[in-house]
Each structure stands twice: as C-alpha cells, then as structure tokens.
Amino acid sequence: MLANLGEDALLHQSQLYIGGHFFGSDTRPTFECTDPVSQEVVTQAIASRASDARAAASAAAGDFPAWSKTDPAERSRILLEAATIMEKRASEVVRIANDEIGSSEEWTRFNVQIAVDLFKNAAQLADSLTEEVTQGPTPDLTYRLQRKPAGVVLALAPWNAAVTLATRSVAAPLALGNCVVLKASELCPKTHEWVSRALNDAGLPPGVLNFITNSPEHAREVVEALIAHPAVRRVNFTGSTRVGRQIAVQAANYLKRCLLELSGKGTMIILEDADLEEAAKASAHACFINQGQVCMSTERILCVNSVADRFAELFAIEARKLRTNGTNNRPLGTLISASSVLRLRGLIEDALSKGARLVEGGEAFNNILQPTILDHVTPGMRIYTEEAFGPVAGIIRVEDADEAMSIANDTEFGLVASVFSKDAEKAQFLLDQIEVGIGHVNGSTVYDDPAMPFGGLKASGYGRFGGQEALSEFTEVQWITVREAQT
C-alpha cells in the first residue's frame, strides 16, 4: 500500500469537497490510481460511499436558494476568473493528466484551452434567465414565461478529455444559477479535482460546486445515491453507451431528466472530387489524436473507389508523421490500459483474417498503438460495427455518394460525420441525409465550438451541450397567467 511508496514516488492526493470543506485520507477510506504504463501508484483518492454522495447533494441543495438569486454579473465574473486560473495553472494539470491517464502535453494543453473557452462562453449565458410577457387571447389576460435554474445538477465526467469534459459538465449549469455535484472518473480523480479547485478558488460560495470521488467497486452505489437524492433535478453524463443506458434507467426510475453524450463511430466520406491531400491530413487528425480516444474520432472512412488507392497512400504518409519513437508518449499519448491494446489488436486481427489489408501501423508497446490504417474493411468484420476507441481507421470502399450515404447510416451510433468534396452544396446535401447530431464539410470530425450545440442521435445519446441549447437542458420554464381583477 502507500506506506511502501518512496519519497520520490509520483503521488497525488485527491480530496472530497463538500459544502465548502475538504475531506482527506485522515477521515475517509481511500483507493489508488495507477499510471497506465508503469502501473505505479500515482494518486490516492477518497473512496466515497452513498453517505458522502447524499451529503454532497444536500450541500448543493442548501446553497441553491442563494446562488440561484446571485447577480448574473457575479456568476459571470467567477467563471471568467476560473478561466484565468486555469490558464495560469496549466502546467500543473499537464503533469497530473500524464501521470493518471497518459495524456500527452499537447492534448492536455489543448483541453485546457477548450475549457477556458467553455468558461468564457458560459459566462455569457449568466444573464439568460429572462422573463417574457405576452398578451393572452383576451384583453384582460397576460402571459408570463419565466426561465429559472433547474436546481441541483449531477455532473458525471469521463477521463478521455478530462479537463474539457469536466469543465463542460459544470460550466453552463453554474452560469445559469444551478448548484452542482461533480463526480470524478475513477481513473483521473486528481485531474478532475484540478477543475473543481479552479472554480472554487475563483470565488464560488461554499456548497455551489461539490466534488466527490469513488473507487470503481462503489461507482454504482454512489451514482444511484446521487440520482435518487430529491434535490438532484438534472443529470449529465459523458461516456460509453453501455454505462449511459444504465444511467438513463436509474434516472427514469426517479423521473430525472438526463443529458447523455455517449459513444460514437465517426464517419468521414471522401468523394471523387475531394482535395485528397487535405482529406488525408484531416483524417490523420480525426482518427489518431489522443490515441483515438475521443467520442468524435473518425473510425470509418468511406472513400469512393476511383480515388481510394491514392487517398490510402496519402493517409499513410500523414499517419507515419504521428508515430511515436518509443522514448515518451508524444505526440498522441497512451491508451488508457493494457486491455485496450489487447482489444484493439483483436479488432485488427479479426479484420485481417477476413480480407482487410494493413496499410500502416499495427505495432503496440507500452500501452501505445501506432497509428493504424486498414483498407478494404467490409461488413462482417468487427471493426465495421464496433466502436474502436483507439487509433485504428478502417477504409471502406464505395462506388458513389449514394452508397456512402447508405453505409454512413448503417451504424447504431449517430454523433458525427464529415464529407470531403469541392462541391460544398453536394456535401451539405449528403450530410442532410446522414443520421448524426454534428456534420462537417471538408473538416475533421474532431472539432467543437462551445457556442454550438453538441450531442448525438441514436445510441450516441440525447440532449445537447453548448450555447443556447444549455438553456433548455439546465433551466425550467414557468408559465404564469395574470388576469386583471374585475372591479
């Protein structure tokens, strides 16, 4: 256990934050997080149980009346200050995220910048709790529509884009006057605590943002206790479809509204008139950034057969630029576990055994899989349908745009797609027929703008983060009728 760790060991201490008070290992049991490559202990975190979960939700409920009435300008100021703190402390989280989840410095700093942008965008939402007054159907009747904070929001954040997605889960709810319980991923408790501390150090009143962690074996107990708590009115979860279904069922039992941003299998379509060099560059970014551990990652490339050979050549050239030399985890970071490597190797070997051709990559070491390209992927191969969530791209050859559209919709997921063509109108028409929440023309599938709605269809979830969509997700609308008194 921890007593065996030397003084030079990389060890982070993660604490709970409930109602303005920190709780550490002196009062709570703990669990350990390990470096995904070395398996050395890097973080000691608090193993919360249901009682801590209920305490966090109650603390949030207790501060909700005051926070919901706080001047919007003050809420905005705090979020902007949190953004400034994040920028100043970025080097801290670079080390933490590298230790806990193997993130490269480039990926973590990119995460921090997106998180800063999320806070700045959320700050603009703070004064969106407006009242609309309209005339009713008769002269003596007036309608008032009041938008109000929902209450306590439960935020369940994942590990893969730890800083960005933890920030996204709390920024808009806080801006709109809600109080929040942020439950960290079991894989990166200190990284998520870093986000929480930036907000609380920016001046959030005690109880507005509460932070809890739990060991993997107690995850179900803690989440169920939080969802069941009467004060919790909203749940947002980013993660796998498998877990998202469980969250949705639990929330339905208590009639709690969910925002679920779940698994994806991003599709990129390369038409015969595409700029193949630009498409190859975008594909390398979309398929391989952060070892492909991004919900928006491109996993299927539907390429018109007449240009497929040339595209595969160019794509391979771009993929080689992203190979690691083995001395560190740059530029793409590491996979989250050795089991991820084994699973991805299984997908690759299955495809090869059924006729796919290995164009590039396939080698793995130290939880790193070199960028991998498979050509001639067809139905019947596991990688055709399963979410890889790793740096493995499958090229599926098609005859024309119509076949590409048909195959693009032949998936249970519906998060994101991109079309490359010099005919932007044709590309947009194609995207209109594809069942996804997000579409791009001549761009990477890995792209986000905090001001725009973000979410998917089908098994990729429901609800939207981002911009004005946050108003419907994290507020309630009250309709009031006012009749003039008869004299």
User: Which sequence positions are flagged as catalytic?
Assistant: 261, 295
Tokens 């396939």, residue?
362
Contact 122, 172 (CB under 8 A): yes
Burial 91-129 (b: 16+ CB within 10 A, else e): eebbebbbbbbbbbbebbbbbbebbbbbbbbbbebbebb
Can you tell me whether residue 358 is helix, strand or coil? strand
The CA-based dihedral angle spanning residues 258, 259, 264, 270, taken in that order and rounded to the nearest 10 degrees:
140
How far is it, in rounded angstroms, from Cα 63 to Cα 65?
6
Classify strands 41-46 and 30-34 as parallel, antiparallel or unpaired. antiparallel
Can you tell me whether residue 144 is helix, strand or coil? strand
Can you tell me whether residue 357 is helix, strand or coil? strand
Tokens 């193993």, residue?
47
Classify strands 232-238 and 457-458 as parallel, antiparallel or unpaired. unpaired
How far is it, in rounded angstroms, from Cα 267 to Cα 270?
10
Tokens 């202990």, residue?
41
How far is it, in rounded angstroms, from Cα 300 to Cα 268?
6
Long-range contacts of 63-66 (CB under 8 A, 24+ apart): 63/19, 63/179, 63/205, 63/206, 63/207, 63/208, 64/149, 64/151, 64/152, 64/178, 64/179, 64/231, 66/205
Residue 22 burial by Cβ neighbours in a 10 Å radius (0-12, 13-18, 19+): middle
Assigned token pair, 452? 């725009």
How far is it, in rounded angstroms, from Cα 237 to Cα 226?
13
Can you tell me whether residue 462 is helix, strand or coil? strand
Alpha carbons within 13 angstroms on the beta-carbon side of residue 246 total 11
Residue 229 dihedral angles phi and psi, to the nearest 5°? -60, 130
How far is it, in rounded angstroms, from Cα 437 to Cα 460?
9
Tokens 């003084």, residue?
7
How far is it, in rounded angstroms, from Cα 261 to Cα 276?
31
